[in-house]
Amino acid sequence: MTTQYITPEKLELLKKEYTKIKKEKMPDIATRIDEAREMGDLSENAEYHAARDEMSWAKSRLIEIDHILENAEIIDASQVDTDTVQIGNTILVEVNEKEKEYSIVGAQEADPLAGKISNESPLGEAFLGKKKGDSVDVEVPAGVMSYTILEIK
């Protein structure tokens, strides 16, 4: 089982999603399945099949959230070391004569467009353990990019 690194905010979002699926979505779907059953012939009942598919998805998502929560390690940004890059740090780097800021997060919270990169991504992995002033070469689809770490927060 792999550790799932998440922030306290993501933990709360997952707990809320779990509760919403379990207490609201699944009972609603069950009601729709029962109503569709009452219509008779299930072989050609599109509403019945759609509701069954949705129930299947909901059950799978609950299992997925359970797995994440069971293997979660909470990232406390206030206790993250700023000497070396680790999960929970935000770093300022220079690449192609431009400055960019990245937050190193767990895979569950990765959002490259928002500057949140996963610790499991090639870029995230390359930064882990590095110090301010270190240069990091990373192979990306466009070729090899050289990043210099300017600041670790």
Domain residues of the chain, as ranges?
4-74, 77-152
Domain 77-152 in CATH 2.60.120.10: no
Query: Parallel, antiparallel, or unpaired for β 135-140 and 72-74?
Result: unpaired
List, for residues 99-121, the tens digit of each pLDDT value. Answer: 999 999 999 999 999 999 999 99
Q: Give every CB contact of residue 142 below 8 A, 6+ residues apart in sequence.
A: none
pLDDT of residue 1: 60
Question: Do 4-74 and 77-152 fold alike per CATH?
Answer: no
d(CA 16, CA 135) in angstroms, rounded, equals: 41
Choose between 76 and 22: higher pLDDT. 22
Q: Which CATH number, 1.10.4010.10, 3.40.50.150, 1.10.287.180, 1.10.10.10, labels domain 4-74?
A: 1.10.287.180
Question: What mean pLDDT value characterizes the chain?
Answer: 93
